[in-house]
Structures are given as C-alpha cells and as structure tokens.
Chains A and B, each alone.
Chain A
Amino acid sequence: MAEAVSYTEKLKKWDRFEAEKFSKKAPVTTPYPFIDIEKPPEYRGIPHINPEKCIGCGACVNACPPDALIMEWDKEHGIKRLTYNAARCIRCARCIEVCPTGAMEPTTRFEIATDNKEDLVEVVEHKLAYCEECGEYLDFTERQIEYVKAILPKEIFEMYALDERIGLTQEAKMRKTVEKLRETEGIPVSAFMLVGEVKDKKGGEK
C-alpha cells in the first residue's frame, strides 16, 4: 500500500508506447502464460465485491445486463445472498458505476480460466434485519438500514418517525399506521402525520 502517486499520475506515467518497446522489431510475441501481461491502469477487468463495504442494496443486480449478479433471499435463516459469477460477466462495469458505497471494486484481472467453477463465484452474505414486532425477517439487510440512517437528513427521520419504523416489516408498518389512523379518527391530518409523531395531538385530545 505504498502507492504515493495518485491515480491520474499513474495514468500519465503508464506508457506502453515507450520508444524501446514500440520500435522493437522481431520477435513481438511474448511467452504469455509464463509472464505477466501488461495491463494499462484503465483496463476494465472483472469486478470484485468488497464485503466490508457492501450493504446488499442490489443496485448492481438491477443494472447488470447478463445476470452475472444475482440476489437471493433466505428468509428462514435471515440471509440475503449476493452472488457474482465471473463466468457470466461481460465486464461492462455498470455495477461499479451504480454502486452507492463503492463496494464494487474495479480490478485489472482478466484471466478467469480455472479448473474449478467455484473459483469464479463470489458470494457475499448479509444478515437481514429482524422485525421484533412480528418475529420475521425484513427484505432489507441490517447494513442497508444503517446506511439509510447515515445518509438521510435528520429532519426526514423525525418527520416520518423512521427511528421506530425502519426496522419493521411492511405488515407491521401498515398495522401501525392503521392503529394510528384509528387513534386519530375524525381529525384531519396530513399523510406524514399519520406515520410521524402524533403525540402532541394525542396529548391535546387527552
């Protein structure tokens, strides 16, 4: 990790067309598998999922044209599985563009030949968030919730009472809303009030 030069500097320095390399006559072939082939820094190799950064949002899965990235839910065990299959990958790097956290990392690796198919597959498993109220797993991962908490402005949080509601399943949320609706029956409130803090009103009523 002793790379002091920045990426752009590296780009400028890297020169395949150096005089001695380019004007070299015969032979131009290289004993390829036995030597490392030169790749420019811009080279778009297969991507790599950084499990530390990945939050399991599935943006990459939506963008991937050839279905190299697949998302699976295992609600029983509370696991969301993101699978990357290099054999299907067309190296378009769309996933890298759309990844919100930079977990999809570009590499310059292109040799994926192997005698074991499993070498081509990268699996990242995420823990699904657990809804205390109904005892079921959510569609989202714990990290997704953390991420949302980290990026959303506080006002929105307060407005929609997300602190309480974010860890709930869809049904629980609906149930809560309905409950609140009942509580506020007859009082005209705007939609976000239904989910937000209605303490004041409640208090007023009392």
Chain B
Amino acid sequence: MNEYVGWAFKIAGVILFLLLPPYLDGIARRVKARLQYRRGPPLSQTWYDLKKLFAIPSVIPTKSAVFRIAPYLALASAITAALLLPYGGYVPINYGYNLIVFFYVIVMVSVFIMLGGFSVQSAFSHLGSAREMQLLLTVEPILAVVYGVLAYNAGSLNIATIFNNLHLTPSLILAIIILAYALYVESGFVPFDIAEAEQEVIGGPLSEYSGRLLGVFYYAIYIKRFALLWFFVSLITYPVMRPINDVITSVGLFIVQILLTIAFYPIIAALEATNARLRIDHVVKVNVKIFFIGLGILAMAFMGW
C-alpha cells in the first residue's frame, strides 16, 4: 500500500514539475504587469509561447553538434534536478549522496547554456556566456558552503535525510538567508539577469538560438527555477511539518509545498519589477563578500551554533 502511495506522490511530483513552472512564470508576468499598471497576459501565456516555439524550426548557425544538443542536455539536467527533490516526502530518485548530484546537475543547466553560447561565433553569445560563467563561479561557492552547513547540520548528504534531520541553530537560519540570495541569483531573476540582459547582449548565450531549441532552453530554465525554489521551500516546510509518516501528513506537506512555491513567485516578481539590472562587476563583488560570510557561517556550524 505504502509503495503505491509513494509512486502516486512521485508521479504527482513529476507532473507538477513538468506543468507548473511555465504557470509560475505566468504568475510572475501577471504580478509584474499589475505593478506596472498593465493588464498583463493570461496565466498560461508562457505555455502558449513555449508551444509556439516548439512548433518553429530553429536556425542552426554552426556545424557544431554542441549547439543542437545543449538545450536537450540542459533540459535533462533540469529534470534530473527536479527528480532529486522530495514531493510530499517521497523522492523520485533517492540515494545516498544526492545533494551533491543536485548541486552538480543544477550547475549543468548553466554549463550547457554556456556551452551552447560558446559553440557559435557571436560576440553577444560569448559575452553572455562569459557573464554566465562569472556568475556561476561566484555563486556556486556560496551554494557549496551553504550545502556544507546543511549537510553538517543534518549529518547526511541525502536531500530527504537532511530535510528530516535538520535542527534549528543560528547558523542554519543564516545559511537559509544566504541560500535564498544564492538561489535568487542562480535563477537569474532581475537584477541578476545579467547573462541574458536583452538590452545589452540581446539574450546573451541564447542570442543565436531560435525556434524549438530556444523553447527547450526556456523550458529548462523554468524547470531549473522551479527546482531551486522547491528545494528552498522544502527546506523551510520540512522542519516545521515533521514528522511525515503517513498519507495525511504527506498530502499536507505536498499542498503546503505547492502553495508556498506559488506564494513565493509574486514576491520574486515584485523584486524583479522594482529593480534595475546590476552590472557583472557589482554582482561579483557582492558574491565574494557573501561567500566569506558563508565561510563564517560554516565555521559557526562546525562549532555547533
């Protein structure tokens, strides 16, 4: 019986992360529109956009195979990352050290975007990819440190185990705050959409992409954003809703996870709408600072605070 319930949750999770992310983007667009006194598009507009993109053939400006494959690999990475997260307490792919795999797979989405950008001869692609790389190289250490705090706090490298075994310390709270920042940067929302800044580098690494391949990239990015947000949401819901040991608590957890994810998106949209884009050197400076703060928190965690 329990096995079937688990499968039901896993399938529900898969359907969720495949269908929900574009709607979340739709929410963000709607909220932004309202902040700008506009009407805004319908919630499923992002789906319509994707549908249209999927139907259009792409222009291939290079003979390099990387250009064609990168979007699919990015999508695969994003889906893998989403599969590693718990949905109502059940993780579709669950094994020992999957926090490291999650960390790695999320990076891979950006890496494939970068590779796609570098595979073509275009100044904007290269500039954008270079920016993406700088962002990645400065954000990932922060994430690594925070993951370190989490793993040390819970004594495990398994995502589900970590969530189940976290105990409240000052270092954990600080780590969650930094994590929120790092995930926001990693997701590439304004003011951190530097790599894809359309007014400056016309879409950056995506500038040479069109049609289906672009659609796949967008889909991958939406799923990646969803995965990062879901990770964060799980991190704050699990310790509150523990213990999760029967169907009812699982359902409750799942619903709270979904609602919180949806609730976070308008906040993100509001942040996006009220900020201008930063420059890469600004972000690098801030990220380096935060990395050292993160090291301090790690030290705190080791000391048991």
Query: A and B touching (C-beta < 8 Å)?
Result: yes
Closest Cβ neighbor of A30 among chain B residues: B39
Ordered by A's residue number, 17 sampled pairs between the chains whose C-beta atoms are within 8 Å are: A25-B37, A26-B34, A26-B37, A26-B38, A27-B33, A27-B34, A27-B37, A27-B38, A27-B39, A27-B40, A28-B37, A28-B38, A29-B37, A29-B38, A29-B39, A30-B39, A31-B39
Q: What's the Cα separation between A104 and B108 when bound, in Å?
A: 68
State the majority secondary structure of interface residues on A: loop
Query: Which residues of chain A are near B37, meaning CB under 8 Å?
Result: 25-29
With an 8 Å Cβ cutoff, the count of chain A residues facing the other chain is: 7
Q: What's the Cα separation between A28 and B33 when bound, in Å?
A: 10
Which parts of A3-35 form the interface with B (CB within 8 Å)? 25-31
Query: Which residues of chain B are near A28, meaning CB under 8 Å?
Result: 37-38
Chain A positions near chain B (C-beta within 8 angstroms): 25-31
Chain B positions near chain A (C-beta within 8 angstroms): 33-34, 37-40
Query: Which residues of chain A are near B34, meaning CB under 8 Å?
Result: 26-27
How many A-B pairs with Cβ below 8 Å? 17
Query: Which residues of chain B are near A29, meaning CB under 8 Å?
Result: 37-39
Closest Cβ neighbor of A25 among chain B residues: B37
> How close is A74's CB to chain B, nearest CB, in angstroms?
50
> How close is B29's CB to chain A, nearest CB, in angstroms?
13
> How close is A22's CB to chain B, nearest CB, in angstroms?
13
Closest Cβ neighbor of B35 among chain A residues: A26
Closest Cβ neighbor of A28 among chain B residues: B37
Residue among A25, A29, A30 with the highest chain B CB neighbour number at 10 A: A29
Closest Cβ neighbor of B39 among chain A residues: A27
Closest Cβ neighbor of B38 among chain A residues: A29
Q: What's the Cα separation between A26 and B32 when bound, in Å?
A: 12
Contacts A26-B34, A27-B37, A30-B39 aside, 14 further interface pairs with beta carbons under 8 A come to: A25-B37, A26-B37, A26-B38, A27-B33, A27-B34, A27-B38, A27-B39, A27-B40, A28-B37, A28-B38, A29-B37, A29-B38, A29-B39, A31-B39
Query: Which residues of chain A are near B39, meaning CB under 8 Å?
Result: 27, 29-31
Query: Which residues of chain B are near A27, meaning CB under 8 Å?
Result: 33-34, 37-40
Query: Which residues of chain B are near A26, meaning CB under 8 Å?
Result: 34, 37-38
Closest Cβ neighbor of A26 among chain B residues: B37
Q: What's the Cα separation between A168 and B39 when bound, in Å?
A: 67
Q: What's the Cα separation between A30 and B39 when bound, in Å?
A: 8
Give me the 4 closest cross-chain CB pairs, A-B, nearest first. Answer: A26-B37, A27-B39, A29-B39, A28-B37
Q: What's the Cα separation between A25 and B36 when bound, in Å?
A: 10
Closest Cβ neighbor of B33 among chain A residues: A27
Q: What's the Cα separation between A31 and B39 when bound, in Å?
A: 8
Query: Which residues of chain A are near B33, meaning CB under 8 Å?
Result: 27
Q: What's the Cα separation between A29 and B40 when bound, in Å?
A: 9
Query: Which residues of chain A are near B40, meaning CB under 8 Å?
Result: 27
Query: Which residues of chain B are near A25, meaning CB under 8 Å?
Result: 37
Q: What's the Cα separation between A33 and B33 when bound, in Å?
A: 19
> How close is A29's CB to chain B, nearest CB, in angstroms?
5
Q: What's the Cα separation between A87 and B182 when bound, in Å?
A: 54
Query: Which residues of chain B are near A31, meaning CB under 8 Å?
Result: 39
